[in-house]
């Protein structure tokens, strides 16, 4: 998954980037609203973590602008303001969740998972197609009775495919989901990760099919 963190506190931002990076997520960091607007204009995100008090404005104005232009990217508001009126106001503006600083990183991770599940229309971290079960929380893939522990990028790549079964996904889209602006990668890297996933799926009802000239498609029963 690719996230955008909008946070001006460098220590907190570094800690969040490190924690979510350990979970295998790709996180771009904007320390102000102008940079955040530039990022969202050129990149599709699975989730935005948004501070309220920023050097060049109020994060709620950014949230309002996002919703006004029809953007449905989930937003979790991060703020030191803990008043009920602030929480209610942010939620009414279109935020999907709200967490007060200081917070425990385990709680932030749990809220991230919950928001993503709601957006996906599921209450479970476990997705099943045929004889394949994919557990996004445990980071495991079970093929028949064979359990496989996934590496971080394998996990995030499978999340992309399992979220859109049957749809063609181009290599540039996969690069966009798996790597940040700071990483210089080629389409060959995607081919390597797809190759690993295909080995994991051997003997299953599920396959990643190459659509020549277009990208890849997850074929499910």
DSSP 3-state of 162: helix
pLDDT single digits (tens) 57-86: 999 999 999 999 999 999 999 988 778 888
pLDDT grade, residue 126 (50/70/90)?
confident
User: In the predicted model, is pLDDT for residue 124 greater than 80?
Assistant: no
Instruction: Read off the pLDDT of each residue in 15-37 and give the average, rounded to a whole number.
Output: 93
DSSP 3-state of 5: strand
Domains of the chain: 2-120 (3.40.50.2300), 126-219 (1.10.10.10)
pLDDT grade, residue 123 (50/70/90)?
low
Task: Name all contacts of 99-106 with Cβ < 8 Å and 24+ positions apart.
Answer: 101/12, 103/78, 105/15, 105/16, 105/19
pLDDT single digits (tens) 170-179: 999 998 888 8
Rounded to 5 degrees, φ, ψ at 16 are: -65, -45
Residue 8 CA neighbour count, 13 Å, CB half: 15
Percent of the residues in the chain that have a pLDDT greater than 70, as a whole number: 99
Mean of the per-residue pLDDT values of the chain:
91
**Alpha-carbon gap, residue 110 to 118, rounded angstroms:** 12
**Alpha-carbon gap, residue 101 to 106, rounded angstroms:** 13
The pLDDT of residue 118 = 86
Q: Which helix (H) or strand (E) holds 63?
A: helix 59-68
Note whether 141 and 216 are within 8 A (CB). Answer: no
Cis peptide before 83 (omega within 30 of 0): no
């Amino acid at each position: 998954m690719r996230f955008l963190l909008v946070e001006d506190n460098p220590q907190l931002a570094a800690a969040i980037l490190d924690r979510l990076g350990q979970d295998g997520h790709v996180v771009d960091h904007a320390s102000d609203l102008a940079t955040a607007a530039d990022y969202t204009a050129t990149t599709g995100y699975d989730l935005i973590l948004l501070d309220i008090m920023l050097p060049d404005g109020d994060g709620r104005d950014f949230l309002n602008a996002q919703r006004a232009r029809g953007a449905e990217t989930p937003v979790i508001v991060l703020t030191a303001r803990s008043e009920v009126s602030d929480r209610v106001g942010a939620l009414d503006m279109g935020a999907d969740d709200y967490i007060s600083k200081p917070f425990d990183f385990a709680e932030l991770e749990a809220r991230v998972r919950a928001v993503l599940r709601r957006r996906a229309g599921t209450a479970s971290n476990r997705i099943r197609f045929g004889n394949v079960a994919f557990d996004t929380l445990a980071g495991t893939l079970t093929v028949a009775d064979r359990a496989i522990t996934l590496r971080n990028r394998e996990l995030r790549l499978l999340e992309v495919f399992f979220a859109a079964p049957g749809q063609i996904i181009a290599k540039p889209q996969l690069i966009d989901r798996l790597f940040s602006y700071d990483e210089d990668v080629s389409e060959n890297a995607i081919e390597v990760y797809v190759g690993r996933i295909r080995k994991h799926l051997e003997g299953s009802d599920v396959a990643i099919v190459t659509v020549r000239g277009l990208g890849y498609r997850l074929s499910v029963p």
